Amino acid sequence: MSQRPAVETPEAAAQALSHSPESLRARVQQALEEAKKRGASDAQVVVSHSVGLDLGVRKGEIETLEHERDQNLSLIAHFGQSKGAASTTDFSEQALLDTVEAACRIARYTEPDPYAGMPSIAFKAVDWEDLDLDHPWELSIAQATELAQRTEQAGFDAESRIENSEGASVNTRRAMAFLGDTQGFMGGYRSTRHSLSCALVARGDDGMQRDYAYSVSRRAADLGIPEDIGREAAERTVRRLGGEKLSTRSCPVLFAPEMARTLIGSFTRAISGPAQFRESSFLLNALDERIFPEWMRIEERPLTPRGLGSAPFDGEGVQTRNRPLVDRGVLRSYTLDSYAARRLGRETTGNAGGARNVTVRPGTLDAPGMLREMGTGLLVTELIGQGVNPVTGDYSRGAAGFWVENGEIVHPVEEITIAGNLRDMFRAIVATGSDVDYRGNIRTGSILIESMTVAGE
């Protein structure tokens, strides 16, 4: 019906950063010096900058074309045991001075905290390896448009019941950040992140369903094939048509890999420094305790080349390390920054900014094998709502998925909840799959839990 949109800018999408590493470093240095001048005993500055392109196509036509360009300077100024923080997106000379002034002014009012301070120099990264995170994608708008169009079209072609679309989109972003402090640490690196995604709508006899598929990576060459992503989105959408409620029952629950990730996410939050020192964790003081079955192992792997969560040093310049979090089912480490470490009388684990590339050791069963292992029960492919109490571990979330009998999918299921307590659920893990989903900071295969309460009719 309508023609392709006329695109007037043939040049490659801007993957060129508009600040040089030298200019970011100079801003870090200047902010540190200004803080010192105002009497700060210590200071830390992070300057970041990114450029990106986000192009969305819907029903074959460009719907949105967004050019992203962000910058931020943030500063923490310590005055003995007191501190203040400030940030700005304005990189003018005056804004930089105002920001330093604001942090210093705040520090005059905040009260001394015996645990405040920066990490000991002994923990700082000195020499770090290149984690291969920077792979700019010289993608023209015409090329991006074509990729998105191919993705979406493959979805429409795959299934006749796909009658509508929320669109397909291509996103590419390149960032650079520098971190420096008054103890002499200065480090920075560039990184990229590219993605291709598609969300489709299908109509059945009793209403509509929507689902999506996506691929994300540091390197464009590692992205999935557009046609595969479109087809997967179509299949995921259509298989949800005709969903039924279940009657209320207790049964085994198999979390598909992208949902299993959320269980591991609750685990990493519970072992984080703030959750521990605020006594707001269902795994409070659980170090050296068996919280998973004996065969389970979970590692943090921040140094994985091209990993989506990889970083050579943490948000305080502390060296990151690959290490076990859970070994033989036993919790071996919290994830701490230097502040939490001092609060808990421990050493920093290089987790300022969180845990990175948390990896559940894969089991031997693939996705069909996991269904057979469950036999009869609920396969969960979507969860909605928050429904997790971080203090008690009480868990109750909206779910959709499939009813499974004798290892085979019988029918789609919707408008149900699944409930339990995370401590009990972790202990009741029967198997983890080899179907690992690498598209995020948490990497796990599917997770089978012996029994949960399913509420429906």
Partner 1 sequence: MIDNLARQTLLDPAGLGESELSRLLGTTFGREGVDGGDCYFQFACQEGWSLEDGIVKSASFNIERGAGIRVVRGEQTGFAYSDDLAMPALLEAAGTACSIARAGQSGSVAVQGRTPARELYVPDNPIDSLGEQEKIDLLKEVDAEARAADPRVTQVMCSLAGSREVVMVLNARGELTTDVRPLVRLNVQVIVEQGGRRESGSSGGGGRFGYRHFREHGQAAAHAREAVRQALVNLEAVDAPAGSMKVVLGPGWPGVLLHEAIGHGLEGDFNRKGTSAFAGRIGERVAAEGITIVDDGTLAERRGSLNVDDEGNPTEETVLIEDGILRGYMQDELNARLSGTQTTGNGRRESYAHLPMPRMTNTYMLGGNADPEEIIGSVEDGLYAVNFGGGQVDITSGKFVFSASEAYLIENGKVTRPVKGATLIGNGPDVLTRVSMVGNDMQLDPGVGTCGKEGQGVPVGVGQPTLRIDGMTVGGTRAA
**What is the smallest separation between the CB atom of 102 and partner 1, expressed in angstroms?**
4
Please answer whether residues 49 and 176 qualify as being in contact, where contact means their C-beta atoms are separated by less than 8 angstroms. Answer: yes
Tell me if 249 contacts partner 1 by CB under 8 A: yes
Give the Cα separation of 83 and 99 in Å (integer).
Answer: 14
Name the strand (E) or helix (H) holding 342: helix 338-344
- Taking CB under 8 A as the rule, which mask of x and - marks residues 20-49 in contact with partner 1? ------------------------------
Candidates 20, 120, 160, 248; binder of partner 1 (CB under 8 A) is 248
Tell me if 143 contacts partner 1 by CB under 8 A: no
Write the DSSP symbol of residue 3: P
Candidates 22, 93, 127, 457; binder of partner 1 (CB under 8 A) is 457
**What is the smallest separation between the CB atom of 365 and partner 1, expressed in angstroms?**
28
Q: Which is nearer to partner 1, 207 or 375 (CB)?
A: 207
Q: Which is nearer to partner 1, 256 or 296 (CB)?
A: 256
Q: Which is nearer to partner 1, 110 or 434 (CB)?
A: 110
**What is the smallest separation between the CB atom of 313 and partner 1, expressed in angstroms?**
22
Cβ within 8 Å of residue 366, ≥6 positions away: 433, 434, 435
Candidates 65, 216, 344, 367; binder of partner 1 (CB under 8 A) is 65
Cβ within 8 Å of residue 388, ≥6 positions away: 266, 394, 395, 397, 422
Tell me if 412 contacts partner 1 by CB under 8 A: no
Tell me if 258 contacts partner 1 by CB under 8 A: no
**What is the smallest separation between the CB atom of 419 and partner 1, expressed in angstroms?**
5
Which stretch, 126-134, 254-262, 354-362, 395-403, contacts partner 1 (CB under 8 A)?
Answer: 395-403
Give the Cα separation of 68 and 63 in Å (integer).
Answer: 16
Cross-strand partners of 213 = 198
Please answer whether residues 282 and 265 qualify as being in contact, where contact means their C-beta atoms are separated by less than 8 angstroms. Answer: no
Which stretch, 38-46, 64-72, 127-135, 186-194, contacts partner 1 (CB under 8 A)?
Answer: 64-72
**What is the smallest separation between the CB atom of 277 and partner 1, expressed in angstroms?**
9
Name the strand (E) or helix (H) holding 368: helix 367-374
Which stretch, 226-234, 246-254, 263-271, 328-336, contacts partner 1 (CB under 8 A)?
Answer: 246-254
Candidates 186, 208, 287, 367; binder of partner 1 (CB under 8 A) is 208
Q: Which is nearer to partner 1, 38 or 332 (CB)?
A: 38
Q: Is 364 exposed, middle or buried (0-12, 13-18, 19+ CB in 10 A)?
A: exposed
Name the strand (E) or helix (H) holding 37: helix 21-37
Q: How many residues bind partner 1 (CB under 8 A)?
A: 84
Give the Cα separation of 157 and 433 in Å (integer).
Answer: 31
**What is the smallest separation between the CB atom of 50 and partner 1, expressed in angstroms?**
11
Please answer whether residues 328 and 321 qualify as being in contact, where contact means their C-beta atoms are separated by less than 8 angstroms. Answer: no
Helices (H) and strands (E) in the chain, counts: 9, 17
Q: Which is nearer to partner 1, 434 or 451 (CB)?
A: 451
At 426 the three-state DSSP class reads: helix
Candidates 396, 409, 423, 427; binder of partner 1 (CB under 8 A) is 396
Decide the pairing of beta strands 447-455 and 249-255.
antiparallel
The interface with partner 1 within residues 105-124 (CB under 8 A) comprises 105-106, 109-113, 116
Helices (H), 110-207: 141-158
Q: Which is nearer to partner 1, 8 or 127 (CB)?
A: 8
Tell me if 64 contacts partner 1 by CB under 8 A: yes
**What is the smallest separation between the CB atom of 216 and partner 1, expressed in angstroms?**
15
Tell me if 418 contacts partner 1 by CB under 8 A: yes
Cβ count within 10 A of residue 61: 15
Write the DSSP symbol of residue 64: E
Q: Which is nearer to partner 1, 348 or 417 (CB)?
A: 417
Cβ within 8 Å of residue 130, ≥6 positions away: none
The interface with partner 1 within residues 283-342 (CB under 8 A) comprises 284
Candidates 16, 95, 121, 410; binder of partner 1 (CB under 8 A) is 95
Tell me if 3 contacts partner 1 by CB under 8 A: no
- 3-state helix, strand, coil split of the chain in percent (to 5) is 25, 40, 35
Q: Which residue is associated with the tokens 């009480």?
A: 394
Q: Which is nearer to partner 1, 160 or 392 (CB)?
A: 392
Helices (H), 110-225: 141-158
Tell me if 68 contacts partner 1 by CB under 8 A: yes
Candidates 278, 290, 323, 346; binder of partner 1 (CB under 8 A) is 278
Give the Cα separation of 374 and 449 in Å (integer).
Answer: 9
Q: Which residue is associated with the tokens 């029967």?
A: 430
Residue 379 φ/ψ, nearest 5 degrees: -95, 120
Candidates 50, 88, 182, 444; binder of partner 1 (CB under 8 A) is 88
Q: Which is nearer to partner 1, 245 or 372 (CB)?
A: 245
